[in-house]
Amino acid sequence: MRDDMMKETTTPQLARLDDLDDVRIAEGDPDPRGWDVLAADGRAVGRVDTLIADTAAMKVRYLDVELDEKALGLEEERHVLIPIGGATLHEKEDVVYLGTVPSARLRMLPPYRHGSLSRPDEQFYREEFDEGYAQPAQEADFYAHAHFDDRRFLGRRRRGDRAYLTRTS
């Protein structure tokens, strides 16, 4: 792909939280990195490796989930992306639930290789997780969708109305 085309289709404001020196989770809010992930069918399917942050909006957009090879019968290590609103935190335990994603479906998601995401990549994830949602897939603001709502993710563990991500500098 040509460089000028790449600029049009990539979303450079997305970055792994682990790679950002000046962005962190707000004090007192839960940090799910390293937490177990349970699929809709109740199976433990992996753990949260990191969060994918939108540095322009200062919001988390995706969970980078490292799948459990043995539990899912995978031949090699694989990471997948889950839109933040497609997951929820347990009210008390440090566990992430994928309420609408069964373990068999996770096996079919394409691997996330820790590179940049293009808008077509993100559109794929939107459509993959659109099942059961009445909202149209083409809002003026791509992220104005339940899939990207961090309030759904945090649920009752949210600390007030402040932002989940903050800048350190």
**pLDDT tens sequence across 75-113:** 999 999 999 988 999 988 999 999 888 999 898 888 998
Q: Please, which pLDDT band fits residue 128 given cuts at 50, 70 and 90?
A: confident
pLDDT tens for each residue of 30-40? 999 999 999 99
Strands (E), 5-78: 14-16, 23-25, 36-38, 44-54, 59-67
Mean pLDDT, residues 35-57 taken together: 95
User: Looking at the domain assignment, is residue 6 inside a domain?
Assistant: no
**Domain count of the fold of the chain:** 1
pLDDT at 44: 96
Q: Which domain holds residue 16?
A: 11-167
Structural domain contains residue 4:
no
pLDDT at 56 over 50: yes
Domain-located, residue 78: yes
Is 60 in contact with 167 (CB distance < 8 Å)?
no
Query: Is 3 a member of any domain?
Result: no
Q: What is the pLDDT of residue 36?
A: 98
Domain for residue 38, yes or no? yes
> In this structure, is residue 138 part of a structural domain?
yes
Q: Is residue 5 part of a domain?
A: no
Average pLDDT, the chain: 84
CATH number at 65 reads: 3.90.50.10
Which residues, other chains included, contact 93 with Cβ-Cβ below 8 Å and sequence gap of 6+?
Answer: none
pLDDT for 117 equals 84
What is residue 69's predicted lDDT score, i.e. its pLDDT? 95
Percent of the chain with pLDDT over 90: 48
Query: Is residue 2 in some structural domain?
Result: no
If pLDDT is split at 50, 70 and 90, which confidence band does 140 have?
low
